[in-house]
Structure 1
Amino acid sequence: MFRSTRLLTVLSLLVVAGLIFSACTPAATPTAAPEVKPTTAPQVQPTKAPEVKPTEPPPPPPTAEPVGRKSKDPTVFNYLKFGDPETLDPHIDYESAGIGILFNIYEGLIVYDGAEPLKFVPQLAKAIPEPVTADDGSVTYTWEIIDGVKFHNGDDLTTEDVAYSFWRSMLLGDPNTPAFLLLQAFFDVDDATQLVDPEGNLVGDPEALKSADAATLEAACQRVKDAVTFDETKRTVTMKLVHPWGPFLPTLAGGAWATIMDKKWNVENGDWDGDCKTWQNFYGIPTESGILRDKTNGTGPYMLDKWEPEQEVVLIANPNYRKGEAVIKRAVYKNVQEFGTRFAALQAGDADAIDLGSVADRVQMDTLVAEDCDINTGECQPTDNPNGILRAYKGRLPLTRTDIIFIFDTGENSPYIGSGKLDGQGIPPTFFQDLHVRRAFNYCFDYDTYIQDVQLGEGVRSLAVTLPGQPGYDGTPIYEHDLAKCEEEFKLAEWKAEDGTSLWDIGFYMQIGYNAGNTGRQAIAEILAQNIGQVNSSFFISPLALPWPLFLRTRQQFGMFTSGWIEDIHDPHNWYVPFLTANGTYSFRAKMPKELTDKYAPYIADGVRETDLAKRAVIYSELNKLVHEDAPFIILSLAPSKHYEPLYLKGWYEGLNRNPLVNEWYFYEFSKD
């Protein structure tokens, strides 16, 4: 059976030989386009991803307790992962490498009630208020703030700090940040610049914003401040929304964008001082030059000790935390690209937790499991592995998925699209604006191989951009792996070379990007490259891995990239906005054409305002069919998550960590035997 030699070699070395050798990630260099070869009719054979063979750990001496059953230091938690935070500014960070760190440092008004993704309890608020609806349709929440809270530097928490934090989160973030989550709830806009220019001409353009009319800028800021007011005497913060917003409480609990910062400390460090005359000067500052990129001062149980980019982030317990000092005194996030190195550290007891590069890595992890546990009851049963050092929980609700995102306009100077022309040596920047090209790629991808060989048969095809069980999901049509239809769509493509030669006859070359260390995404890129080469030997795709922060900054320059989305709130709106709106996290970067975002907008707006689930399902069902027809990305599959932890760790199952929306680890709940 046909097997991609490159795919086999790359993934086999990552998963097996990586247990012995540790490799450094090379500098990311665009690959040169290959010499164009004459097109020949390809022999179509099934795609086969590499077999993943578990590596057996060496047996311990007969009389010795297995290494890793006891913690080497019960006060330190060592977490080995791949990828560095983009920033530690809680209102700007919007990626998975930073959010877990920030969850330990900062706090919000409310937080999840243990493992429940749709239940909440107060954190910095005394109680969760009932909303009050006015005659004009607006909704008001009045929060009473608890006393006796101090920031890490000793400053007292004030109600002004709370209000200021919401002003800042809404006003300073561009479309690369989570600002839209609050702005949509409060004002029904995606970006603060739309309060200045409702047509959206200033979105994501800091310099243009600074040139706007001063009075209009100040008035926009004042609208935000009027929507979130404070009264220090009553110890209250009042929030006014323009209309009811169903996912408002999930939005407040969902992430660092709604956490509270110390206004006084922010200003002392050069950040915005809350003056409406100057907010535009702080809008859209690139993360790499952000004022508070590497500084933190929260109210949470952990404080930042140090951040050495691309090396490690170290947190230390807050000795003055109002609920008592944490048992785990030091949490160390180490950036280790190779799974084999991370796995070896776990075996040796030098790591308490590690990131997996893909579902396939569970094969190795399962060789260390001593207890299999029920995610619903918490009951554990011993395995037949007396040398195991881990317990495992299977079947946790998956609230994340990785897909392939098409870029509709890479820009003229992209280093990842070869020549930048349709000449067999590259692609034009707007290559994926051709509907037939997008559909061809959807038909070419071998979904079953990905599910069976990379997701170990545990994956289930996604029907829509949203999740199973959400309204409108069921019944959505999907693309199947069909090389004949792939070929047919490529031949229907409107692209032609300067001499009139068709896309099918001249071929193309491009690179597909993914973040280094994520072997699951590497497999996706390799499978697609192989499939495309099968349908036409003049079609070339070269996968390219980049370090996480660089990948985040440059992925919109690729013709396409593979990346994932983790729910902020458990609601379909949190999938449609980032993927389908004009200013969405992915659609904005992808330069999705206005004709598409305008088409989707009424469905998204109607769906989020509708409270009847059956009516919501009808709206979203129609939207999902439109998305299928337009094929703006390749929607892949979901696999149930599996949690691994050392036998000596206590506290994961009982608290917030089991919540599927809590990313990574909340160390305050942990202790070790």
Structure 2
Amino acid sequence: LTGYPTLRDVAAAALGREVDDLHTLTPEEQAKVYNGYIDPAVEVDGENVVFHLPKPYPPFITIIAHSGSWSSILDKEWCIEEAGCWDGQPDTWEKWWNPGGGEVAEASELFNIENGTGPFILERWDIGVEVVFKRFDDYWGEPAKIERAVIKKTPEWTDRFLWFKAGDADIVYVPRAHQPEVEGLPGVVSVHHLPTLSMNPVAFFVAPVVTEGNEFIGKGPWDGLGIPPDFFADIRVRKAFAMAFEYDTFIEEILLGEGYMTHGPIPKAFDWAYYQPEEELLWKYDLEEATRLMQEARDGEIWEKGFNLTILYNEGNETRRVAAEIFEANIEAMNPKFQIEVRAVPWKTYLGYMVTEKLPLFIVGWLADFPDPHNFAVPFVASYGTFSGWQGSYMIENIFEPIFDPLVEAGMATTDLAERAEAYYEISKQAHEYAIDVWLPQAEGIRNIRDWVQNYPFNPIFPGPYFYPMYKAYE
């Protein structure tokens, strides 16, 4: 709304100096920032709320209209009086800026209380165990058809399966490897080949990795143990890894035939922005060519010295484990001096290594926040993106900043879909040209429900069920 990417940048423009910590601003400085840049961006005109955008932002209305938490509308008086939120004064807002440093959800005043106009009331939230919603009979529209909806967190598949089979659970998440166990069960309906708004998994290259306190690259000068910090700065190494993955095998054996190859960060569901003919940009398994590239990389030094590379995955994620093991088997098959270790770690540990740029290669995925290609272009290829921003200074300074940042901006410079599509086509082409990541096969969506669940709407932007129109009956 202000034309600046962060509130720090807004403060810098308003005050004419860099501001590292907004909590240090005086009341007078806060008022200057608010009155000069924030307040003018939104105004009330009769019954209308008017947003003054400094430049086009195509998905803006979609984000505002979305029922997700990133654009929730709350009653101002309730927020101030009951929740203790910002009082709306222009010279006090710093106290409520970035609670918990953006890392501790519990620091938000709104963490465990709710207020809204939806069809359900939060009846109970047992953190880490279950959430219970109760029908709100005074809802402004037609009341929901079900009285309660319960979401249980049950990590163990065996428990979920037994409940589902017995009819004690209406909807369950089924890991792809266990899908055959529910196919054909009496009273179970499985819907296949659903489109998804995600890119998961993807293998990301980091160059250079952070060396301080890094157990994954070896100590001292590279002598064949560990890897050099800039191992993946050589595009031949990146291409070799992309060609050493058995895409068709992964689709057939891991995704049980219900998956597809893809290229670049734009999901196929955005058909207007997905480059065709896709065959031009799809990596193919070619171990002979991958071997040749590794022989040439770093003027033959890698082939002569060899390396030891560790690929981590988060515990319990079998898809990522298998992807890492495919890399391991095929890279090691090239040269006995090439050694890869695949290791499971807790998610918190994995995340810590990933965000500090200590993992030479990490495998992770992205689920859409809002249904627009921009929500994938930024995290995957912008220099400031969630994942691309963790891929090391070489990748950022030599690839993401000069090549992709202008394309990401071009994709948002107009509301014309054809013009936007050209920017996203080029992003996919350049992602292939520079081999920035390995775009692993994507799974088609599958939904498993009991046959008495009726009117379950499908919308790939919702990660879970939309309970409002649903009910239970035999029809």
What range describes the TM-score normalised by the shorter chain of this pair? 0.7 to 0.9
- Contact 1:441–1:486 (CA under 8 A) maintained in structure 2: yes
Identity over the aligned pairs, expressed in percent? 27
The answer to whether structure 1 residue 366 and structure 2 residue 366 are counterparts is: no
1:192-238 CA-partner distances (Å, limit 9, x unpaired) = 3332347xxx99xx95444578766554444233212236xx34322
- Contact 1:294–1:307 (CA under 8 A) maintained in structure 2: no
Q: Which residue pairs with 1:272 in the alignment?
A: 86
Gaps of 5+ in 2: none
Q: Which residue pairs with 1:26 in the alignment?
A: none
Q: Which residue pairs with 2:189 in the alignment?
A: 391
- TM-align CA RMSD: 3.3
Q: Which residue pairs with 2:407 in the alignment?
A: 603
* Residue among 656, 666, 671 paired with 2:466: 666
The answer to whether structure 1 residue 245 and structure 2 residue 60 are counterparts is: no
Distance 2:127 2:231 in 1: 35
Q: Which residue pairs with 2:455 in the alignment?
A: 651
The answer to whether structure 1 residue 311 and structure 2 residue 311 are counterparts is: no
1:457-481 CA-partner distances (Å, limit 9, x unpaired) = 2222113321332336114523222
Cα distance, 1:529 vs structure 2? 2.6
Distance 2:229 2:77 in 1: 46
* Residue among 256, 262, 280 paired with 2:69: 256
- Identify if the C-alpha distance between structure 1 residues 217 and 331 changes in structure 2 by more than 3 Å, giving closer, same or farther: same
Kindly provide the amino acid, as one letter, of the partner of residue 525 in structure 1: A
User: Does the residue aligned with 1:196 lie in a helix, a strand or coil?
Assistant: helix
How do 1:40-439 and structure 2 match up within 5 A?
186-197=1-12, 208-210=21-23, 218-222=31-35, 223-230=37-44, 234-254=46-66, 255-267=68-80, 268-281=82-95, 282-283=97-98, 284-292=101-109, 294-299=111-116, 300-323=118-141, 325-358=143-176, 360-368=177-185, 388-402=186-200, 403-408=202-207, 410-412=209-211, 417=216, 419=218, 422=222, 424-427=224-227, 430-439=230-239
Cα distance, 1:647 vs structure 2? 0.9
User: Does the residue aligned with 2:190 lie in a helix, a strand or coil?
Assistant: strand
Gaps of 5+ in 1: 1-185, 369-387
- Contact 2:173–2:448 (CA under 8 A) maintained in structure 1: no
Cα distance, 1:665 vs structure 2? 0.9
Distance 1:209 1:594 in 2: 28
User: Does the residue aligned with 2:412 lie in a helix, a strand or coil?
Assistant: helix
- Identify if the C-alpha distance between structure 1 residues 578 and 308 changes in structure 2 by more than 3 Å, giving closer, same or farther: same
1:513-557 CA-partner distances (Å, limit 9, x unpaired) = 23x44332332233223323323343213132534x665555324
Q: Which residue pairs with 2:249 in the alignment?
A: 449
Q: Which residue pairs with 2:442 in the alignment?
A: 638
Kindly provide the amino acid, as one letter, of the partner of residue 447 in structure 2: H
Count residues in correspondence: 451
- Contact 1:423–1:508 (CA under 8 A) maintained in structure 2: no
- Identify if the C-alpha distance between structure 1 residues 560 and 272 changes in structure 2 by more than 3 Å, giving closer, same or farther: farther
What's the TM-score once normalised by structure 2's chain length? 0.82
- Identify if the C-alpha distance between structure 1 residues 407 and 669 changes in structure 2 by more than 3 Å, giving closer, same or farther: farther
Distance 1:570 1:211 in 2: 37
Distance 2:28 2:233 in 1: 39
**Structure with higher helix content:** 2
Kindly provide the amino acid, as one letter, of the partner of residue 290 in structure 1: A
Cα distance, 1:362 vs structure 2? 2.4
1:377-415 CA-partner distances (Å, limit 9, x unpaired) = xxxxxxxxxxx1112323322222211223445544566
Distance 2:24 2:209 in 1: 27
Kindly provide the amino acid, as one letter, of the partner of residue 355 in structure 2: Q
Distance 1:485 1:447 in 2: 15
User: Does the residue aligned with 1:241 lie in a helix, a strand or coil?
Assistant: coil
- Identify if the C-alpha distance between structure 1 residues 249 and 406 changes in structure 2 by more than 3 Å, giving closer, same or farther: same
- Identify if the C-alpha distance between structure 1 residues 316 and 494 changes in structure 2 by more than 3 Å, giving closer, same or farther: farther
- Identify if the C-alpha distance between structure 1 residues 290 and 620 changes in structure 2 by more than 3 Å, giving closer, same or farther: same
What's the TM-score once normalised by structure 1's chain length? 0.60
User: Does the residue aligned with 2:326 lie in a helix, a strand or coil?
Assistant: helix
Kindly provide the amino acid, as one letter, of the partner of residue 570 in structure 1: P
